[in-house]
Amino acid sequence: MSQSNDNSTRVVVTGQGLVTPLGRNTPDIHSRWMSGRSAAATISKFDASNLPVSIGCEVADFEPRQEIRNRKLLRLLMRGEDFGVVASASAFADAGLSNEDYDPARAGIAIGVRKEGFCHSNFNDALEVCTGGGTIDRALFMEEGMRRIPPQTIIEGLANAGLYHIAHEHVLQGVNHNLLCLGTGGFHAIGEAMWSLRNDEADLILAGAFDSWILWTGIAHEHYTGVLSSSTDDPSTVHRPFDVTRTGSVVGEGAALFVLETLERALQRGANVLGEILGFGAATGVPSFDPHGCAAAVTACVRRALDVANLTPADIDLMHLHGDATEQGDRIEVQGLQAALGERACTIPATTIKSTTGFMANASSSVETAAVLEVLRTGIIPPIANLTTPDPAFDLNFVREPLDGQPLRHALLIERSWPSHYAALIVGTPDDQR
């Protein structure tokens, strides 16, 4: 696909659907972020007491059977995908669109996804029938156990299953992007959707991500990589990005999906414009254990996003940081931003919502986009929760108290994905007439 820097075709957000640990709409999310209180608590949806980490930022009051009427579909959804299905319906409702309002062949979908595979409990009966004395009889498993594995198991494990279910539900038969990522998927989806709309490949695209790290496999993976905190402090205080006492992240889960259209089409149909997608960039730090290479990747993706948006560092009024609260991760992010933005990096207000929502894998980048659009709308920047003593090595303008009265037109967002993938997104206010 051609990706020129011609942004004469403006891409805007006309609807959004959210399922997050802080709420289902941006005013509620903004309010809870402003309060500085994290959603982290002891994991309640399964017994995590034997895991190395047993706290997380769960989506409260979410009962799939009450929110998804299609029982056949419900049986096929993994945790996280059910968030996506609910968020997709909310996004189209927020945009004022039904399936009859668009040409299916000109309606697309772009989803950032990370898939752990099928539901492991599907194997319980199969293993039980062929296990004795603490060992598995492999021959018996093949003869008898295999017949006890539910046939939908193979469908559950497909990485593009969530995209398919949502596309089927809303008759999205046009361009599709299924982007396999561990954390930057929301940005990649929004960025690819932006290019498709600029290139006139679609009239509208549903873009974003859904995910959950609150699974035993997700917790095990993130603990192994050193991202998660093992602190036994009050769960709500554990995620402390850029603080001298930081010990790592807390897992989270959620979804945020957006209806994206060209500004021309949005105005023609009288849509409510929530914000504008201006620029996107991505880069990889190789090898992942080289901090200089990783910082250079941050620099590269920020410069690319600015280039695509036709903006300079002086045009950025707000930075939303990744903030995984690891010593190396925080340092790489700060160094990369300073190299990309120069002296301007030290003056732009810098905040992050991640210390209240936890690290939601791909959903983080998507939910954070919605949160930042609300900041641009209200003009009020919430502080970084749990940032008590900023690391003196980091010369950024961290927001530690609610900040009001700042002119906010353009915001830069940064996201990191394991092992060393970085992405940057630039969004603007809906009334910015550059």
Q: Which of 305, 320, 306 is nearest to 376 (CA)?
A: 320
| Cβ-based neighbours of 350, under 8 Å, separated by 6 or more | 318, 319, 320, 321, 396, 397, 398, 399
Judge if 93 and 207 occupy the same domain.
Answer: yes
Judge if 211 and 321 occupy the same domain.
Answer: yes
Last-in-domain residue among 105, 135, 150: 150
**Helix, strand, or coil here: 162?**
helix
Residue 103 counted as domain residue: yes
Q: What is the CATH number of the domain that holds 192?
A: 3.40.47.10
State how many domains the chain has: 2
Q: What is the pLDDT of residue 1?
A: 46
Judge if 262 and 342 occupy the same domain.
Answer: yes
Radius of gyration of the chain (CA): 21
Q: Is the pLDDT of residue 386 over 80?
A: yes
Judge if 290 and 328 occupy the same domain.
Answer: yes
Judge if 128 and 141 occupy the same domain.
Answer: yes
Residue 433 counted as domain residue: no
Structure-model confidence comparison of residues 329 and 137, the more confident one: 329
Confidence of residue 130 (pLDDT cuts 50, 70, 90): confident
Residue 168 counted as domain residue: yes
The segment with the largest mean pLDDT, out of 79-83, 158-162, 299-303, is: 299-303
Residue 299 counted as domain residue: yes
pLDDT for 330-341, tens place per residue?
999 999 999 999
Q: What is the pLDDT of residue 122?
A: 64
DSSP strand E in 153-273: where?
176-180, 204-212, 251-262
Judge if 146 and 19 occupy the same domain.
Answer: no
- Give the end-to-end CA distance of the chain in Å, rounded to a whole number: 26
Residue 185 counted as domain residue: yes
d(CA 214, CA 211): 9
Confidence of residue 224 (pLDDT cuts 50, 70, 90): confident
User: Around Cβ 191, how many Cβ atoms within 10 Å?
Assistant: 28
Q: What is the pLDDT of residue 192?
A: 98
d(CA 261, CA 201): 11
Judge if 219 and 298 occupy the same domain.
Answer: yes
Is the distance from CB of 255 to CB of 363 less than 8 angstroms?
yes
Q: Which residue has the tokens 């994206």?
A: 260
Q: Is the pLDDT of residue 241 over 80?
A: yes
| Cis previous bond, 27, omega within 30 | no
Judge if 249 and 140 occupy the same domain.
Answer: no
User: Around Cβ 383, how many Cβ atoms within 10 Å?
Assistant: 20
User: By residue range, what is the domain housing residue 170?
Assistant: 12-117+157-426
Q: Is the pLDDT of residue 127 over 90?
A: no
Residue 3 counted as domain residue: no
Residue 6 counted as domain residue: no
Q: What is the pLDDT of residue 189?
A: 98
Is the distance from CB of 283 to CB of 192 less than 8 angstroms?
no
Last-in-domain residue among 150, 172, 197: 150
Q: Is the pLDDT of residue 418 over 60?
A: yes
Q: What is the pLDDT of residue 143?
A: 82
Judge if 199 and 251 occupy the same domain.
Answer: yes
Q: What is the pLDDT of residue 2?
A: 46
pLDDT for 319-365, tens place per residue?
999 999 999 999 999 999 999 999 999 999 999 999 999 999 999 99
pLDDT (mean) for 100-107:
97
Judge if 231 and 140 occupy the same domain.
Answer: no
Judge if 205 and 234 occupy the same domain.
Answer: yes
Last-in-domain residue among 150, 169, 197: 150
Judge if 20 and 145 occupy the same domain.
Answer: no
